[in-house]
Amino acid sequence: MNRGDIVNLFDVKNKVVIVTGAGRGIGRSIAKGFAKEGAKVVVCSRTKAELTVLKNEIKADGGICEVVTCDVGIRSDIERVIKTTVDTFGKLDVLINNAGMTKKVPAIDLTMEDFKQVIDVNLTGVFSFAQLAGRVMIKQGFGKIINISSIASVQGLKGSVAYAASKGGVKLITETLAIEWAEHGVQVNAIAPAYVETPLMEALKTSRVGFEEAVIQRTPMGRMAKPDEMIGACIFLASEASSYITGETIFLDGGWKAYGL
């Protein structure tokens, strides 16, 4: 295999990619990364203004982008995103299941309403999007789903019981769907970041004294991740380079998990 063949393995040009939670943070970076590599990107979140700014940036760089507002907790919104994507582009190659939220509250004080809200977005929303995208992909005979999980999928996270429970569920959804859909040509994988410098993380830094220093000290690479550092693993999992990988979670954590206790 020559160099050109290897480069082609990672090609995502003209692939149709849905990115949920694309208005900011990790989702925004992933959407721009795919568009830059020639993918046709459908971005969705609850806030149209953020998506419009993103679309304009992508188009200014010569990319292709469609905007669909969506609350992942509403099944009909998800159905509309899938339908709009297929009606516009004729297929669906990749789903980046990124939309998520958290409630940073001690377990003893967490209300059931807040617990349910986190589960509805992070777990039920992920499954609902995967299920509806999966139906299209199974009918096509191909497709890739990439769920955005977390280091909290395999380790407890103080003050985030609902978030940890939801991400643990995402890990098992990923593995179970991978098993069920492999025979249909649909691959389901996940990436699991640790701490990433997003707007949410900035809020945590300012609200909790010593938080950033503690994270950096605990991380072998000595820093938090940048949102753009999530792009490469997603491109890999969306491309032919990962043609024999399904049911896996790639940890993008700067060595956090390897560090142990």
Residue at 215 is within a domain: yes
Per-residue tokens: 28 = 């925004």
Residue at 261 is within a domain: no
Give the range of the structural domain holding residue 72, as residue numbers without chain letter. 3-251
Return the exposure string of 189-206: e unless at least 16 CB atoms fall within 10 Å of the residue's CB, then b: bbbbbbbbbbebbeeebe
Residue 32, pLDDT above cutoff 90: yes
- Determine the Cα angle at 9 with ends 61 and 139, to 5°: 90
Catalytic residue among 163, 195, 244, 259: 163
Mean pLDDT within 152-158: 91
Residue 257, pLDDT above cutoff 80: yes
Residue at 82 is within a domain: yes
Which of 14-18, 56-60, 254-258 shows the lowest mean pLDDT across its residues? 254-258
Nearest to 40 by CA among 96, 97, 92, 98: 92
Residue at 166 is within a domain: yes
Query: What DSSP assignment string belongs to the chain?
Result: --HHHHHHHT--TT-EEEEESTTSHHHHHHHHHHHHTT-EEEEEES-HHHHHHHHHHHHHTT-EEEEEE--TT-HHHHHHHHHHHHHHHS---EEEE---------GGG--HHHHHHHHIIIIIHHHHHHHHHHHHHHHHT-EEEEEE--GGGTS--TT-HHHHHHHHHHHHHHHHHHHHHGGGTEEEEEEEES-B-SHHHHHHHHHSTTHHHHHHHHSTTSSPBPGGGGHHHHHHHHSGGGTT--S-EEEESTTHHHH--
Amino acid at the residue 226? K
Clarify whether 195 is annotated catalytic: no
Which of 70-74, 127-131, 195-199 shows the lowest mean pLDDT across its residues? 195-199
Length of the chain: 261
Tell me how many domains the chain contains. 1
**Whole-angstrom Cα distance, residue 161 to residue 152?**
9
Residue with tokens 């992920």: 126
261 band by pLDDT with thresholds 50, 70 and 90 = low
Residue at 38 is within a domain: yes
Q: What is the CATH number of the domain that holds 217?
A: 3.40.50.720
Q: What is the pTM of this model?
A: 0.95
Q: Give the per-residue pLDDT at 202.
A: 79
7 band by pLDDT with thresholds 50, 70 and 90 = confident
Residue at 258 is within a domain: no
Residue at 33 is within a domain: yes
Residue at 257 is within a domain: no
